[in-house]
Amino acid sequence: MTTVTQMKCACESCLCIVSIEDAIQKDNKSYCSEACADGHQTTKGCGHTGCGC
């Protein structure tokens, strides 16, 4: 059986792949940044190069 260690950020418009171990967890979802985790209510973009969320 394979164990998943990385996944796409749960933010729909984000392109980032995040390590589940290092991800910001909110509502049982994994996010790459606080901005994505809070639904971009206060910050536009996630701050990662090449991502346009």
The string of pLDDT tens digits covering residues 4-37 is 899 999 999 999 999 999 999 999 999 999 999 9
Q: For residue 50, what pLDDT is reported? A: 87
Q: pTM of the prediction?
A: 0.87
Q: pLDDT-based confidence at 52, cuts 50/70/90?
A: confident
Q: For residue 9, what pLDDT is reported? A: 97
Euclidean distance between CA atoms 37 and 35, whole angstroms: 5
Euclidean distance between CA atoms 50 and 46, whole angstroms: 10
Q: For residue 17, what pLDDT is reported? A: 96
